Chains A and B, each alone.
Chain A
């Protein structure tokens, strides 16, 4: 039973990691129907930004809590700037182009950003400082669920609830839903569609940056390539949950994380990916729009 609980939490942590990235994929897809392949790179840039900020601040001897908050804010702002710029430069000019064009543009941005960080920073792995300390009160259960696991789980839950509220109850949320349903009609009733799309990219990028900080602190290392692999898994999770749906992205991520964890624990980690993707195929056969996806145009 202990072993089951250990694997359960391992899966939940992994799922939450995917979810923090998957939310950005699903939001963008929900609004403009674009798979933003550069999203994984935004996450990576978030991790690098928080790495740099945290390193500099710790040299000046700031307390840990201040470092975490400042690094998180800096990473969120910086990544948002990247997300905003990528959208403006690479996607907006292609808004009326066939669907394939922005997709290729997104892949191009992903490769560009990877190589940019590779050249501007380093190709080496860098040690990421442990920004989430080991809480004393977690010690009795640390062998099952550690402090960083707990912070990631809680953050994911908070972010999901906050996003749902944002979309359901705020003005910008209403505008997002309108844009998702019908861009032309939204323009006609006075919604500034460009601004809504920019806002979506900014929110998604900020989330990815926070994710970058938490995940890098959990794993303890970063390099320019982390965004690609994490991005692929997060994208898979978003599709599994029904791309375009926010609770779907979280649910899909958790299902994917748990599947991988239990496959590793009870069968073999050699087949971890085999099980994860078999599950994806099965779900898509029986429910092509994903677990919580809806077939009609109503997204977000």
Chain B
């Protein structure tokens, strides 16, 4: 037994060594080829490199156990510099090298450009970071999955909360005219209208830094709104919340990640009490998350970078699906991704029919006694 284990470890170490030294050298024919594509050089390398490291850690772990169904896992790492025109070449190269599944790409634009090539070749792709809503919602890419919530998921969380939990019927949607705030507000407006359960009574932008928001607060009151959804950052949010209090307007204030910041509570003080804000799910209590980060620190002597946990989870989900499906056929893998729940650093996830991870996304928090607590 012991010597068998040692042998396996040796094989794992050797295969990993090969994988890192010469990713495309091609090992024995009988390996599972996991492609990793994304920005690994250039301006956005800091977004792509943590994914490579996550893949290396997960693959090392699997190979140490003896691979999947007796097959070792081989990494094929390709750089796309986050450019759509490079990404198509990257994808073609990976497909030519016989990749089975791909972890990537990192940027939404590059991912969108590469997807048709993978689709043609029947390769499942899972991104840790591409948030463009269309990638899953258009239905064009049945081979695409992701372990990060899409851009509109936050607005969806806020709207669901406002309508189903608060029971709001008339919602005022206010934003700060910025890319982030206005983008969120537009999604929120769309989702409220689509729900049919509430109406948008006001949709307006305020000028950030203005000395006084009395007029907009009076307008919110005039429109009879029973909840406000604000898209923007905390300085405006605290001014509006304080002004609502001063004008004796008692309605629910719901905002976003830009407001889920301790500075908001510090500045708005007692007026912050009862304000709701959405924010990413908190993974810090998840032992798998801690374990993944510790493994990274041990291996590379530094804290992991952007999207590391999402990438780690995506690699786990992909390999788990291959293991459960017992095959590398696209149809089998897709089925396994949708039906098999896998424990990952971002939670216990499986995927919906569009390719978004169920269980990954945003939670609602409320200010209670001077701190944000999750609304259960």
**Which residues of A line the B interface, CB within 8 A?**
3, 6-7, 9-11, 13-14, 17-18, 124-127, 142-143, 146, 148-149, 215, 218-221, 223, 225-226, 229-230, 233, 260-261, 264-265, 268-270, 272-273
Check if B215 sits within 8 Å of A127, measured CB to CB: no
Write out, one digit per residue, whether chain B residues 182-216 have a CB within 8 A of any chain A CB (1) or not (0).
00000000000000000000001111011110111
Check if B267 sits within 8 Å of A220, measured CB to CB: yes
Check if A269 sits within 8 Å of B204, measured CB to CB: yes
Check if A269 sits within 8 Å of B205, measured CB to CB: yes
Check if B246 sits within 8 Å of A146, measured CB to CB: yes
26 residue pairs of the A-B complex, CB under 8 angstroms, read A3-B218, A3-B222, A7-B218, A10-B212, A10-B215, A14-B215, A17-B212, A18-B211, A124-B263, A125-B238, A127-B268, A142-B247, A143-B247, A215-B211, A219-B242, A220-B239, A220-B242, A229-B209, A230-B211, A261-B214, A264-B215, A264-B216, A268-B204, A269-B205, A269-B216, A270-B204
Q: Is B234 an interface residue, CB under 8 A from the partner?
A: yes
* Residues from chain B with Cβ under 8 Å of A125 in the complex: 234-235, 238, 263, 267
Instruction: Give, as a whole number of angstroms, the nearest-CB distance from B212 to chain A.
Output: 5
Q: Which residue of B lies closest to A15 (CB)?
A: B212
Check if B211 sits within 8 Å of A10, measured CB to CB: no
Tell which of B214, B246, B249, B268 has the most Cβ of chain A within 10 Å: B214
Bound together, the chains give a CA A180 to CA B64 distance in angstroms of 87
Known A143-B248, A269-B204, A269-B206; judge A219-B212 contact (CB<8 A): yes
Check if A127 sits within 8 Å of B267, measured CB to CB: yes
Bound together, the chains give a CA A221 to CA B243 distance in angstroms of 12
Instruction: Give, as a whole number of angstroms, the nearest-CB distance from A40 to chain B.
Output: 11
Q: Which of B253-312 contact A (CB under 8 A)?
A: 263, 266-269, 271
Check if A127 sits within 8 Å of B211, measured CB to CB: no
* Residues from chain B with Cβ under 8 Å of A223 in the complex: 235
Check if A233 sits within 8 Å of B211, measured CB to CB: yes
In addition to A269-B207, A270-B205, A272-B210, 5 A-B residue pairs with Cβ atoms within 8 Å of each other are A7-B215, A14-B214, A215-B211, A264-B219, A272-B215
Check if B209 sits within 8 Å of A14, measured CB to CB: no
Instruction: Give, as a whole number of angstroms, the nearest-CB distance from B220 to chain A.
Output: 10
Check if B238 sits within 8 Å of A272, measured CB to CB: no
Interface size on B, residues (CB 8 A): 31
Bound together, the chains give a CA A261 to CA B212 distance in angstroms of 10
* Residues from chain A with Cβ under 8 Å of B235 in the complex: 125, 221, 223
Q: Is B83 an interface residue, CB under 8 A from the partner?
A: no
* Residues from chain B with Cβ under 8 Å of A124 in the complex: 263
Q: Which residue of B lies closest to A262 (CB)?
A: B215
* Residues from chain B with Cβ under 8 Å of A17 in the complex: 211-212
* Residues from chain A with Cβ under 8 Å of B207 in the complex: 269, 272-273
Q: Is B368 an interface residue, CB under 8 A from the partner?
A: no
Q: Is B119 an interface residue, CB under 8 A from the partner?
A: no
Q: Is B53 an interface residue, CB under 8 A from the partner?
A: no
Bound together, the chains give a CA A268 to CA B172 distance in angstroms of 13
* Residues from chain A with Cβ under 8 Å of B222 in the complex: 3, 6, 265
Known A142-B247, A148-B246, A260-B215; judge A221-B267 contact (CB<8 A): yes
Check if A127 sits within 8 Å of B266, measured CB to CB: yes
Cβ-closest 9 pairs across A and B: A10-B214, A264-B215, A229-B209, A10-B215, A261-B215, A6-B218, A143-B248, A127-B267, A14-B212
Q: Which residue of A lies closest to B222 (CB)?
A: A3
Q: Which residue of B lies closest to A276 (CB)?
A: B207
Tell which of B212, B216, B218, B269 has the most Cβ of chain A within 10 Å: B212
Determine which of A11, A127, A233 lies in contact with B269 in the assembled complex, contact meaning CB atoms within 8 Å: A127
Known A125-B267, A143-B247; judge A13-B214 contact (CB<8 A): yes
Q: Which residue of B lies closest to A273 (CB)?
A: B207
Known A219-B239, A225-B209; judge A265-B268 contact (CB<8 A): no
Check if A269 sits within 8 Å of B219, measured CB to CB: yes
Q: Is B324 an interface residue, CB under 8 A from the partner?
A: no
Bound together, the chains give a CA A87 to CA B290 distance in angstroms of 58
Instruction: Give, as a whole number of angstroms, the nearest-CB distance from A29 to chain B.
Output: 21
Q: Is B169 an interface residue, CB under 8 A from the partner?
A: no
Write out, one digit per residue, whether chain B residues 59-98 have a CB within 8 A of any chain A CB (1) or not (0).
0000000000000000000000000000000000000000
Check if A269 sits within 8 Å of B215, measured CB to CB: yes
Check if B248 sits within 8 Å of A265, measured CB to CB: no
Q: Which residue of B lies closest to A257 (CB)?
A: B212
Q: Is B354 an interface residue, CB under 8 A from the partner?
A: no
* Residues from chain B with Cβ under 8 Å of A149 in the complex: 214
Instruction: Give, as a whole number of angstroms, the nearest-CB distance from B121 to chain A.
Output: 47
Q: Is B177 an interface residue, CB under 8 A from the partner?
A: yes
Determine which of A11, A18, A215 lies in contact with B215 in the assembled complex, contact meaning CB atoms within 8 Å: A11
Tell which of B209, B238, B266 has the most Cβ of chain A within 10 Å: B209
Bound together, the chains give a CA A264 to CA B218 distance in angstroms of 10
Q: Which residue of B lies closest to A130 (CB)?
A: B269
Q: Which residue of A lies closest to B175 (CB)?
A: A270
Write out, one digit per residue, whether chain B residues 216-248 have a CB within 8 A of any chain A CB (1) or not (0).
101101100000000000110011001000111
Instruction: Give, as a whole number of angstroms, the nearest-CB distance from A285 to chain B.
Output: 24
* Residues from chain A with Cβ under 8 Å of B177 in the complex: 270
* Residues from chain A with Cβ under 8 Å of B269 in the complex: 127, 220
Q: Which residue of B lies closest to A128 (CB)?
A: B267
Instruction: Give, as a whole number of angstroms, the nearest-CB distance from A20 to chain B.
Output: 10
Bound together, the chains give a CA A127 to CA B207 distance in angstroms of 20
Bound together, the chains give a CA A278 to CA B266 distance in angstroms of 38
Bound together, the chains give a CA A9 to CA B216 distance in angstroms of 13
Bound together, the chains give a CA A272 to CA B205 distance in angstroms of 10
Instruction: Give, as a whole number of angstroms, the nearest-CB distance from B285 to chain A.
Output: 28
Bound together, the chains give a CA A127 to CA B249 distance in angstroms of 21
Q: Which residue of B lies closest to A219 (CB)?
A: B239
* Residues from chain A with Cβ under 8 Å of B268 in the complex: 127, 220
Instruction: Give, as a whole number of angstroms, the nearest-CB distance from A229 to chain B.
Output: 4
